[in-house]
Structure 1
């Protein structure tokens, strides 16, 4: 099968974007093609994307004032789009929903929290977010909250708090994927010890290939793999190359090559971070996804491996964690 045909035949999942913030601020509509930003429904469709995980990121200045409100407003943006455009997008709370979306020609929207600030210190609030469809929880952004420390808290950053342990355990019970991107090293260690379900790093690259504090060490990668989890290759320029402005799709393909070799083809997925950072040449927005498939094929990856990286690996973990 030629790479373009393979791409549009495959289930394609992007495990991280920050688009809902722009939609909430009125910069553009999710339903209409825009010349700004990276993601909207027309561009996802053109790029052959089956499912997009929409992260709800709370601005740092709102951490202690109104984090829950900000997260709820972002959730509402996706729920409103689903109500307004039922023929275009559907909510995915399990792998079954993604498969159905593919069969029906729709885009599946997955909801996640990027940082546990909206929970405060309440397991009950976590339950409410679950009922609203949240199925992915990144415990921190770059800084400290009630669950753990983020990666920018420095060399003495702490791991999981007592509340953080409870959150991981409750997410395991409910069926919410734990995401360790942005988490300090001690927190990654603790999550891998506590979690009884696979965990993901939705948008992190391999530090051995490019030394950046947001990328994962080989030991962290091995720990995620041992638990059956996933590393989401991300397109963020700054995590790929120095100078960042010279990053290209080839650097992303280098990361895929490295992770397929070291983590194995069953443990690699894609987490673009579209609308959250500057993108490399060749992956300017969601319409460029087919170029990634062409690049993987050109570099000799098998059809089986390409399908896994594009979406089947995420589907496996999503099904295992959510139970559906």
Structure 2
């Protein structure tokens, strides 16, 4: 007997067999992350492309193609390509970016002022070259408008208080040029604030440093406490009338690096309304990686002492040490651990993202460049974060902080500019 089976029956059977497989291939965490980033794209607190333009190209960008930078390794002494370009920002669901107009710590403050103006210039020129993808933004409304148009809102953040030359007049003019946050220090102290990685001299903020914070609040410029000492963090929060930010830092309880935020500060952050924009730099995320780096530096110092005047011998011995002591891997999970801790201590309202791409050799495994944000948010979804919480971390918290700073500035519109000079007593407020 011959059996006839209709094509419709065969198709129905095939669909029934394939349905369980299709269901297995859908990751609910990825779907939650995708939904969150669709309505609340990432507002990243720190990206160092402007400094790369300075170091690699002397700020000459007429022939620089920002649509795809994957072949830019030839511009770097170690062959390292940029982490950032327009295509990868789009893939990473980035909707707003604070571009860091960083200049190195410099005791010659007049030189630092010139350099930061040059960095503002090159960044604004870069933004203007790509009007279809980037939009210059200075307010929360402008950020949301750019996001709504599918463009990347592009803001300027100064990294290092030496950029103002210990002058509130310079601070005001840099605000007028578009700078919307300033990191009070970089790796070295300023004449008015202690850094996290330098020997303290002020015990936090000096009297003039407190006036810097007051004038930033009056202007509506965000006070960024990444890079500063714990005492400076606490002094700034004491003085601040608007929310502070940490543009690219982690939680010190998870990784003991002084660049990270201690619990003493995290516990106070909800009362200020500020946020920690969690960094992706492996040495700040993975404590095992930090300890490995300390051992490596100690070994290098030991070898240099043993083989003075013999750099070849030192280099050969370090190659052997590296082979015997591989660098511990840092993953997206380490970054999520910092977010978990901040949520536990300060609440989800206190969290943002500040990758530090192009200011470090690489991000964690799976998050090596700006394409990695969706993977991070999928990891958070797997840990039980709701879509609403993911939206807050991605950009809603950052926009809220900007609005609060703007609202405070508007409320003191009639307050005259602070005229304090460094060395004068602090202004009574």
TM-score band w.r.t. shorter chain: over 0.9
Following superposition, the deviation at residue 33 of structure 1 comes to 1.1
**Structure 2 partner of 1:180:** 225
Q: Specify which structure has the higher proportion of helix.
A: 2
How far the C-alpha of 1:299 sits from its partner, in A, is 1.2
* Counterpart for residue 238 of structure 2: 193
Partner of 1:281: 365
Query: Which residue in 1 is equivalent to 2:125?
Result: 80
Of 53-62 and 178-187, more deviation after overlay is shown by: 53-62
Tell me the equivalent position of 2:378.
Answer: 294
Q: Which moved more, 1:132-141 or 1:24-33?
A: 24-33
Matched, 1:33 2:68: yes
The change in CA–CA distance for 1:30 and 1:285 in structure 2 (over 3 A counts) is farther
Give 3-state SS (helix, strand or coil) of 2:99's partner: strand
Tell me by how many angstroms 1:161 deviates.
1.8
Query: Could you tell me how far 1:25 is from its partner in structure 2?
Result: 3.4
Contact 2:230 2:262 in 1 (8 A): no
Distance in 2 between the 1:25 and 1:86 partners? 25
Structure 2 Cα separation of the partners of residues 40 and 162 of structure 1: 42
Match of 1:322 among 392, 406, 424: 406
Deviation at 1:156, TM superposition (A): 5.7
Moved over 6 A (4+): none
Give the SS at the match of 2:153: strand
What residue in structure 1 maps to residue 250 of structure 2?
Answer: 205
Larger Rg belongs to:
2
Answer whether contact 2:203 2:232 (CA < 8 A) is retained: yes
Equivalent position SS for 1:60:
coil
> Does structure 2 conserve the Cα–Cα contact (< 8 Å) formed by 1:24 and 1:73?
no
Rounded Cα–Cα distance in structure 1 between residues aligned with 2:274 and 2:109: 31
On the 8 A contact 1:151/1:157 being kept in 2, the answer is: no
CA deviation after TM superposition for structure 1 residue 190, in Å: 1.0
- State the 1:116 CA deviation: 1.1
Provide the C-alpha distance between the structure 2 equivalents of 1:58 and 1:136, rounded to a whole number of angstroms: 14
Show CA shifts across 1:192-250 (max 9, x none). 11111111111111111121111111111112222111111111111111225411111
- Which residue of the partner structure matches residue 46 of structure 2? 16
Residue 258 of structure 1 corresponds to 341
2:332 is equivalent to residue 249 of structure 1: yes
Residue 139 of structure 1 corresponds to 184
Report the number of matched residues: 324
CA contact (8 A) 2:39 2:391 kept: no
| Shift of residue 138, structure 1, vs aligned partner | 0.5
Residue-by-residue CA offset, 1:136-165 (whole Å, 9 max, x unaligned): 011001211133111122366521122211
- Alpha-carbon distance in structure 2 between the residues aligned to 1:30 and 1:142: 31
TM-score, with structure 2 as normaliser? 0.72
Contact 1:142–1:182 (CA under 8 A) maintained in structure 2? yes
Aligned twin of 2:153: 108
- Name the CA distance, whole Å, in 1 between partners of 2:274 and 2:54: 31
CA contact (8 A) 1:30 1:41 kept: no
* Secondary structure at the counterpart of residue 22 of structure 1: helix
After superposition, where does 1:206-245 map in structure 2 within 5 Å?
A: 206-241=251-286, 242-243=288-289, 245=327
In structure 1, the residue matched to 2:4 is none
TM-score with structure 1 length normalisation?
0.95
Shift of 1:26: 4.1
Q: Deviations over 1:250-285 (max 9, x none)?
A: 100111111112210111001111111131111110
For structure 2, which runs of at least 5 residues remain unmatched after alignment?
1-30, 71-80, 291-326, 411-429
Aligned match of 2:33: 3
Kept in 1: contact 2:247–2:277 (CA 8 A)? yes
